[in-house]
Amino acid sequence: MIADEIHELLDRHRPWLLRVIQSRTTLASAVEDVYSEVLLAIAKSDHRPRDDSSLAPWLCKIAIRQSALANRTAMRRDRLNKDYAHQSPDSPAANDPIFWLMDQERRDLVRQVLHEMEPEVRGVLLAKFVEKLTYPQLAQRLGVAEHVVQYRVAQAKKRLRQMLTQRGIDQEDLS
């Protein structure tokens, strides 16, 4: 019975719901996907209006919400793709496999150099830049003053740069 009500409801309202979705969705190809999400939201809803006068606003609200969710998902995906490329979309390096390969080799070299460093120096760098600890957090962990941690991090970065420079990585590549 409920499935028949939903089908009848959607047959009546499909044209304008598609227009609402289309006007609020950034990708034209996503309209049908968003419409499917609207159908799912309607089917899952326990708070369906009882009278016909409040039905259209309710459907519109669901369509707008699902369109916004689709837009946010698309923006997150785009942002992740841009972050993954580590380049601006206009840069020739963004889609060039040689730059990707060079970046991989640079990362492997950094890992190798880190592995060769003294454990205390490596630990400070990893805590600061991998675990993303702040100077006060790092000072508390090490049981020393904050200015001592700042000095140790600066010295560790300097040592890392020296070791990478000895292996052939230019100073500009390290920035």
According to DSSP, residue 51 is labeled S
Q: How confident is the model at residue 1 (pLDDT cuts 50, 70, 90)?
A: very low
**Domains plus CATH for the chain?**
1-81 (1.10.1740), 97-173 (1.10.10.10)
Average pLDDT on 17-32 reads 83
Q: With a cut of 50, say whether residue 64 has pLDDT above it.
A: yes
Q: With a cut of 80, say whether residue 82 has pLDDT above it.
A: no
Which is nearest to 15 in space by CA: 1, 33, 31, 30? 31
Per residue in 125-159, pLDDT (tens digit) is 989 988 889 999 999 988 999 999 999 999 999 99
Which position has the higher pLDDT, 82 or 46? 46
Largest CA distance in the chain: 77
Distance CA 164, CA 175 (A): 12
Average pLDDT on 51-60 reads 82
CB 164 within 8 A of CB 109: yes
Distance CA 109, CA 115 (A): 10
Average pLDDT on 158-168 reads 86
Q: Give the contacts of 113 (CB within 8 A, at least 6 positions apart).
A: 160, 163, 164, 167
Distance CA 137, CA 127 (A): 10
pLDDT at 140: 92
pTM of the predicted model as reported, rounded to 2 decimal places: 0.44
Q: How confident is the model at residue 174 (pLDDT cuts 50, 70, 90)?
A: low
Per residue in 86-132, pLDDT (tens digit) is 555 555 555 677 777 777 888 888 888 888 999 888 889 989 988 88
Long-range contacts of residues 114-119, Cβ cutoff 8 Å, at least 24 apart: 114/160, 116/163, 117/156, 117/159, 117/160, 117/163
Q: What share of the chain is helix, strand, coil (3-state, %, to 5)?
A: 80, 0, 20
Q: With a cut of 80, say whether residue 84 has pLDDT above it.
A: no
pLDDT at 171: 56
